[in-house]
Amino acid sequence: MQHFRLVFHAERGKPCKSIEFDALDAAAALIHAHKESADRSAELWSGDRKLCSIRRVPVSETDIWQIKTAVT
Protein backbone atom coordinates (compact mmCIF):
# COMPACT_ATOMS: atom_id res chain seq x y z
CA MET A 1 0.00 0.00 0.00
CA GLN A 2 1.09 3.54 -0.72
CA HIS A 3 0.05 6.69 1.10
CA PHE A 4 -1.72 9.42 -0.91
CA ARG A 5 -3.23 12.82 -0.21
CA LEU A 6 -6.00 14.69 -2.04
CA VAL A 7 -5.83 18.46 -1.73
CA PHE A 8 -8.90 20.54 -2.51
CA HIS A 9 -8.40 24.30 -2.86
CA ALA A 10 -11.10 26.73 -1.78
CA GLU A 11 -13.61 27.29 -4.56
CA ARG A 12 -17.25 28.31 -4.99
CA GLY A 13 -17.66 29.01 -1.29
CA LYS A 14 -16.20 25.67 -0.20
CA PRO A 15 -13.21 25.69 2.18
CA CYS A 16 -9.81 24.11 1.58
CA LYS A 17 -9.73 20.43 2.43
CA SER A 18 -7.16 17.64 2.52
CA ILE A 19 -7.81 13.88 2.69
CA GLU A 20 -5.12 11.27 3.34
CA PHE A 21 -5.59 7.60 2.48
CA ASP A 22 -3.78 4.42 1.46
CA ALA A 23 -4.20 2.71 -1.92
CA LEU A 24 -2.46 -0.07 -3.84
CA ASP A 25 -1.18 2.28 -6.55
CA ALA A 26 -1.85 5.57 -8.34
CA ALA A 27 -4.68 4.04 -10.41
CA ALA A 28 -6.50 2.95 -7.24
CA ALA A 29 -5.83 6.39 -5.75
CA LEU A 30 -7.53 8.02 -8.76
CA ILE A 31 -10.61 5.86 -8.20
CA HIS A 32 -10.67 7.03 -4.57
CA ALA A 33 -10.18 10.63 -5.74
CA HIS A 34 -13.13 10.29 -8.12
CA LYS A 35 -15.38 9.25 -5.23
CA GLU A 36 -14.14 11.99 -2.86
CA SER A 37 -14.13 14.90 -5.30
CA ALA A 38 -17.46 14.49 -7.00
CA ASP A 39 -17.94 18.23 -7.49
CA ARG A 40 -14.49 19.77 -6.96
CA SER A 41 -11.10 19.96 -8.58
CA ALA A 42 -8.25 18.44 -6.61
CA GLU A 43 -4.55 17.61 -6.61
CA LEU A 44 -3.32 14.07 -5.96
CA TRP A 45 -0.06 13.79 -4.00
CA SER A 46 2.20 10.93 -2.95
CA GLY A 47 4.45 12.17 -0.16
CA ASP A 48 5.89 15.52 -1.27
CA ARG A 49 5.41 14.70 -4.97
CA LYS A 50 2.39 16.07 -6.83
CA LEU A 51 1.16 13.34 -9.18
CA CYS A 52 -1.63 15.16 -11.02
CA SER A 53 -4.56 17.55 -10.92
CA ILE A 54 -8.08 16.33 -11.59
CA ARG A 55 -11.25 18.16 -12.49
CA ARG A 56 -14.72 17.19 -13.60
CA VAL A 57 -15.66 18.45 -17.07
CA PRO A 58 -19.30 18.43 -18.22
CA VAL A 59 -19.70 16.73 -21.62
CA SER A 60 -23.09 16.34 -23.24
CA GLU A 61 -25.34 14.58 -20.71
CA THR A 62 -22.54 13.29 -18.49
CA ASP A 63 -19.24 14.36 -16.94
CA ILE A 64 -15.72 13.17 -17.58
CA TRP A 65 -12.59 13.56 -15.49
CA GLN A 66 -9.74 15.59 -16.90
CA ILE A 67 -6.39 14.47 -15.49
CA LYS A 68 -3.40 16.75 -15.90
CA THR A 69 -0.08 15.20 -14.94
CA ALA A 70 2.31 17.20 -12.81
CA VAL A 71 5.46 18.54 -14.43
CA THR A 72 8.45 16.60 -13.13
Reference 55, options 67, 70, 63; nearest CA is 67
**pLDDT tens across 3-62, in order?**
999 998 877 777 788 999 999 998 898 888 878 776 778 899 999 999 999 887 777 777
Distance CA 14, CA 37 (A): 12
- Residue 35 in 3-state DSSP? helix
pTM above 0.85, yes or no: no
